[in-house]
Chain A
Amino acid sequence: MSLRVSDLKVHYRTLRGDVRALDGVSFELGDAEILGLAGESGCGKTTLGKSLIRMDGRMRHVGGTVELDGTELPIGDDRRMNDFRFHEVSLVPQYSMSALNPTRKIGKMVGELLRSRGVTPDTAKLLGRLDAVGLPHEVLDRYPIELSGGMKQRMVMVISTLLDPSLLIADEVTSALDVSTQKAVARALAGFRDNGFVKSMIFITHDISLTYQIADTIMVMYAGRLAEKAPARTIVEAPRHPYTRMLIDSLPEVGVRHADRRLSGIAGSPPSLLDPPAGCRFRDRCPLAFDRCAEEPPAAEIAPDHFVACWKA
């Protein structure tokens, strides 16, 4: 088992009180597994990704543990986490355009970054990685502004994984890209796992159809909690949580036309996490809600590797 997250709680401090962005999330991630993390804006997926590598000033670790390869990560301790960052856990952020230093040529920037971590740059390895994502070696002599969005995103992916981290967190890496570039970038990312550059990966996106293409397991979150986690095929073909079902039904597939079949969204909006209601957080929007939903449903394993937090599952 590569990563084990137990009852993780991370809150945002605001003037009006704590926003419970992550409110008791538990899951495990196996070796060589790609976990797709899906959900609406504000469901806590980015907070989960950030918690595993670097919490920003407003975030507070309230409870729960994160264990990576048998070692507990000191996620609440910014300074002690430095030993793990990039060596053990690494991140590919959403906006690669702002992740690269615009005043340095890329090769020089990579060298500076590595030395700042006390690592001697290994040119042969770097060039090998560029080949792996299909970037020409000349990019090292260019400034970030000379690269296209897809190239920058792949460059950041190469830099993030140069130290062969165990866990890679890819947060919405393709959301600013076109479909064909998106495909190339997503495949390159899956290639990192196949080639053993990273051991396991958390792929965060709001696009379930994209997650389905590269993830082994999909975890759907809702309002700071886990709604459903299952192998990618199961989530898409036999979802059990009403939220997952409605989310998948709201996706316009190529071939579905408004004139033939009317898709519908999910009425209502997620509850405020400032003071979330007790019980199942989806129950106000759920067509199957009944009395028992006032109690919080546990994430029960209804089939091997299929966890659902719903009384009706």
Chain B
Amino acid sequence: MMLRLDNVTKVYKVGAFGGKTLTAVDGVSFDVPEGQVVSLIGESGSGKSTLGKMILGLVPVTAGSITLDGAPVRPGKEYYRHVQGVFQDPFSTFNPVFKADRVFQLIREAYFPAATAADWDERVRAALRDVRLDPDQVIGKYPHQLSGGQLQRVLIARALLLDLKLLVADEITSMLDASTRIDVLNLLAEIKGRGLGVLYITHDLSLGNYLAERTVVLRHGTVVEMGATDRVFGRPLHPYTRQLLSAVPRLHAPWEDAEPVTSCLYHDGGATGGLAEAGEDHFVACARLEGCLEERLGGRSGGRLEGRLKGR
């Protein structure tokens, strides 16, 4: 299985009568290979959720192509047999009027009408055990009787019942507590062992770093840096990645100790170079790479980006 995005662009029409346009995603290309977690990192408005929605076929692509095993995305029953999404807020994903396990019933009606009740029950229970849930604690309960972490795991179990090739996980841990969040992350890391790809969309760099083999950093709809996670986070080259990393609150390292990060001549104003290869499996949208950074970090050119941040 391989999900491939090639020069994907999304332009939304905004304003009265759609008179204006907003480019949410601009020429993004990357792959999600089987058995890997790829994290898509960006701030609000970077287009990361739009990308997720396009992959799920919820939003049409303006230009470029998204292909799964070479076939273009065609939203419909067959496509969703292989590609499923889990979203941020588990409490609004479920219909509060029905029991939470109704989501399994809907899968059975749509995809496995021939399965017998006993057989299906066993499959549901096995899927729940796979996501480290005790089936007896979940089956027959209403959404409000379950915790956020349990609900998210129910949704992952639901996806696993299908012949899943790709899971799009859009901020699935941001509403969970620290103590349960890590269990859901570990679960994502485990299910990739079944040979399915996971696209993990997050704004939390430390979570992306923990989980993903590969990382794509988005800014204003374009990729600024991508590649193997240990390279992107271990030796970040783009000023934006460095600035994001320095802003992450860490234990044992007060913000004061973080090295100051200055703006980039080429990417502050919106002019972006294409992605250049900076090393093995490491791509940066920076025309001059190292030389540029050294020059910038040596000078006092931090004012512009700081000013922009304050102004936002």
Q: Using CB atoms and an 8 Å cutoff, list the residues of chain A in contact with chain B.
A: 40-41, 134-136, 148-151, 178-184, 186-187, 206-210, 212-213, 236-237, 246-248, 250-258, 262-266, 269
Bits for B243-255, please: 1 = Cβ < 8 Å to A, else 0: 1110111111011
Verify B309–A184 contact, CB threshold 8 A: yes
- Best-surrounded residue of A135, A187, A266 (most CB of chain B within 10 A): A266
Query: Contacts A178-B203, A252-B210: A40 and B251 contacting too (C-beta < 8 A)?
Result: no
- Decide yes or no whether B177 CB sits under 8 A from chain A: yes
Tell me the interface secondary structure of chain B in the complex.
Answer: helix
Known contacts A255-B209, A257-B209; decide if A187 and B180 are in contact (CB<8 Å).
Answer: no
A250 & B179 in contact (Cβ 8 Å cutoff): yes
Closest to A285 in B: B179
Q: Which residues of the other chain, B, contact A179 by a CB distance below 8 angstroms?
A: 43, 203-205, 244, 247-249
B309 touches A181 (CB 8 A): yes
Contact between chains at B255 and A184 (CB < 8 Å):
no
**Which positions 294-312 of chain B face chain A at CB distance < 8 Å?**
309-312
| A257-B210 CB under 8 A given contacts A178-B44, A180-B243, A263-B186 | yes
Known: A213-B249, A213-B255. A252 touches B43 (CB 8 A): no
A261 CB to nearest chain B CB (Å) = 9
In the complex, A250 Cα to B183 Cα: how many Å?
9
Q: Is the CB of B178 within 8 A of A237?
A: no
Tell me the bound Cα distance from A208 to B207 in angstroms: 15
Asked whether B265 is an interface residue with its Cβ less than 8 Å from the other chain, the reply is no
Of the residues B147, B179, B186, B312, contact of A148 by C-beta under 8 Å: B312
Asked whether B284 is an interface residue with its Cβ less than 8 Å from the other chain, the reply is no
Q: 8 Å CB contacts to A: which residues of B236-270?
A: 243-245, 247-252, 254-255
B309 touches A252 (CB 8 A): no
- Cβ of B229 < 8 Å from any Cβ of A? yes
Q: Which residues of B contact A187 (CB under 8 A)?
A: 255
Residues of B within 8 A of A (CB): 43-44, 147-148, 177-183, 185-186, 189, 203-207, 209-211, 229-230, 233, 243-245, 247-252, 254-255, 309-312
Expressed in whole angstroms, the minimum distance between the Cβ of A4 and any Cβ of chain B is 29
Known: A179-B43, A179-B244, A254-B206. A206 touches B177 (CB 8 A): yes
A248 contacts B251, C-beta separation under 8 Å = yes
Q: Chain B residue with minimal CB distance to A175?
A: B174
Of the candidates B148, B179, B203, B205, which one forms a contact with A246 in the assembled complex, judged by CB atoms under 8 Å apart?
Answer: B179
Total A-B pairs, Cβ < 8 A: 120
Residue of B nearest to A248 (CB): B251
Closest to A134 in B: B310
Q: How far is the CB of B89 from chain A (nearest CB, A)?
A: 13
Contacts of B182 in A (CB 8 A): 250-252, 263-265
A38, closest chain B residue (CB): B178
Q: List 16 additional contacts besides A150-B312, A212-B254, A265-B181; criterion CB under 8 Å.
A: A179-B244, A179-B247, A179-B249, A180-B244, A181-B309, A186-B249, A207-B249, A210-B249, A237-B252, A251-B182, A252-B206, A253-B251, A254-B233, A254-B245, A256-B210, A257-B210
Chain B residues positioned under 8 Å from A252 (CB to CB)? 182, 185, 206-207, 209-210
Interface contact B249-A264, CB-CB below 8 Å: no
The answer to whether A236 and B43 touch across the interface, beta carbons within 8 angstroms, is: no
**Distance of B238 from chain A, by nearest CB (Å):** 14
Name B305's closest neighbour in chain A (CB-CB). Answer: A180
How many angstroms between the C-alpha atoms of A151 and B207 in the bound complex? 26
| B229–A264 CB distance below 8 A | no
CA distance A252 to B173 in the complex (A): 13
Contact between chains at B249 and A258 (CB < 8 Å) = no
Bound Cα distance from A134 to B157, whole angstroms: 46
Least distance between B209 CB and chain A CB atoms (Å): 5
Are A258 and B185 in contact (CB-based, < 8 A)? yes
A181 vs B233: C-alpha distance in the bound complex, in angstroms? 20
Closest beta carbon of chain B to A281's beta carbon, Å: 14
Whether B178 contacts A250 by the Cβ 8 Å rule is yes
Chain B residue at minimal CB-CB distance from A133: B310
